[in-house]
Structure 1
């Protein structure tokens, strides 16, 4: 093996290790940011008030029971439980629809929130949502 080939292989190995480390770091921090009270791209947000007002509860994937979740931040609804306490929502996921349920463990009445959709909850779901999944 020539010296330049060995040098290239070493450089490629270094790049691969650095890239893997970057991806692991990015994945870990992204996964740790959901339920932080900040609605980001690819998350689903449930708002305390109508019109996307008040605090937001943000999820990245699914949550089968909101009874242990609370709104965070210094906004209307802060510290209140998310369970049966949301009036509007915004699906900021670019691909997936989200499903909301009126009872924990994906039971009760359910509805679909399409990718990119935001709005006020209907009378069936206003202050009745207890679970969501994508």
Structure 2
């Protein structure tokens, strides 16, 4: 029986190693944290709201919708930037849509207030209706 126990232990060890390898593979193929937004790096497939005009200053980058910017802040990936730590709510001067689809912005939380949309690839300064008034954003028309 001693030999049988060793064979059994080797099989369990082999199964455990295979399971560990599968988990490791899953971790390698999972999207990076920076690809999920809200990290201060505006990447492909994200929508960015900037603290200053001309896409300058810290960025609030979104990969998915945000129904209420209250409590959200501008981020910096490294170094310094104007607006770091400032509230994103009613504090956006420009934007850049690096996503492949249109994004909608609203002047109030929950897709209320004035509505505007930004097609894929668009970047620019917020007009008087939206400058420092945006409070929610969606990668679809929320109405």
Match of 2:111 among 80, 87, 106: 106
Deviations 1:16-52 (A, max 9, x none): x86x964664435247741001101100000000000
Are residues 32 and 68 of structure 1, via their aligned partners in 2, closer, same or farther at CA, if it must alter by over 3 Å? farther
4+ aligned runs moved over 2 Å, structure 1: 20-33
Report the equivalent of 2:49.
46
Task: Say yes or no: does 1:129 pair with 2:134.
Answer: yes
TM-score by length of 1: 0.79
- Aligned pair count? 117
- Name stretches of at least 5 consecutive residues in structure 2 with no aligned partner: 1-17
Which of the pair has more CA radius of gyration?
2
Report the equivalent of 1:66.
69
Task: Say yes or no: does 1:96 pair with 2:104.
Answer: no
What is the rounded CA distance, in whole Å, between the counterparts of 2:29 and 2:66 in structure 1?
A: 22
TM-score by length of 2: 0.74
Report the equivalent of 1:77.
83
- Name stretches of at least 5 consecutive residues in structure 1 with no aligned partner: 1-13
Report the equivalent of 1:86.
92
Alpha-carbon RMSD across the aligned residues, in angstroms, is 2.1
1:78 match: secondary structure: coil
